Amino acid sequence: APASRPRPARPESPADADPRAAELCEGLLRRSARIDPKFLYDAQGCVLFSAICELDEYYPTRTEREIFRSQREAIAQALPDPLQWVDLGCGDCAKSRDWLSHVGARRYLGVDIAAEWVTGAVASLGAQHPGIECVAVGADFTAGFDIRDRLGDVQALPPVLFYPGSSIGNFAPDVAVPMLAGFRRHLGPHGRLLISADLRKDTAVMKRAYADALGVTAAFNRNVLRVCNRLTGSDFRPENFLHQARFDEARSCIEMRLVAGSRQFVRIGGQLRVFEEGEAIVTEHSYKYTPERFGALLDEAGFSSHRMWTDPHGWFGVFLAQP
**One-character DSSP codes across 39-52:** GG-SHHHHHHHHHH
Q: How far is the CB of 286 from ligand AVJ (least distance, A)?
A: 3
Three-class secondary structure of residue 131 per DSSP: coil
Say whether residue 166 binds ligand AVJ (CB under 6 A). yes
Q: What is the DSSP letter of 201?
A: -
Number of residues that bind ligand AVJ (CB under 6 A): 11
Pairing mode of beta strands 280-287, 253-260? antiparallel
Interaction mask 28-67, ligand AVJ, x per CB under 6 A: ------------------------x-------x-------
**What residues between 273 and 292 interact with ligand AVJ by CB under 6 A?**
284, 286
Three-class secondary structure of residue 305 per DSSP: strand
CA atoms within 13 A on the CB side of 298: 25
Do residues 242 and 211 touch, judged by C-beta distance below 8 A? Answer: no
**What residues between 199 and 228 interact with ligand AVJ by CB under 6 A?**
210, 217
Q: Which stretch binds ligand AVJ (CB under 6 A): 6-14, 86-94, 151-159, 163-171?
A: 163-171
Question: Dihedral angle at the C-alpha atoms of 305, 311, 111, 192, nearest 10 degrees?
Answer: -20
Q: Which is nearer to ligand AVJ, 279 or 284 (CB)?
A: 284
Q: Which is nearer to ligand AVJ, 167 or 271 (CB)?
A: 167
Q: Which is nearer to ligand AVJ, 210 or 275 (CB)?
A: 210
Say whether residue 112 binds ligand AVJ (CB under 6 A). no
**Of 303, 285, 282, 281, residue with least CA distance to 294:** 303
Say whether residue 233 binds ligand AVJ (CB under 6 A). no
Q: Which is nearer to ligand AVJ, 90 or 105 (CB)?
A: 90
Report which residue type is found at 20: R
Do residues 162 and 192 touch, judged by C-beta distance below 8 A? Answer: no
- Give the binding site for ligand AVJ (CB under 6 A): 52, 60, 165-167, 169-170, 210, 217, 284, 286
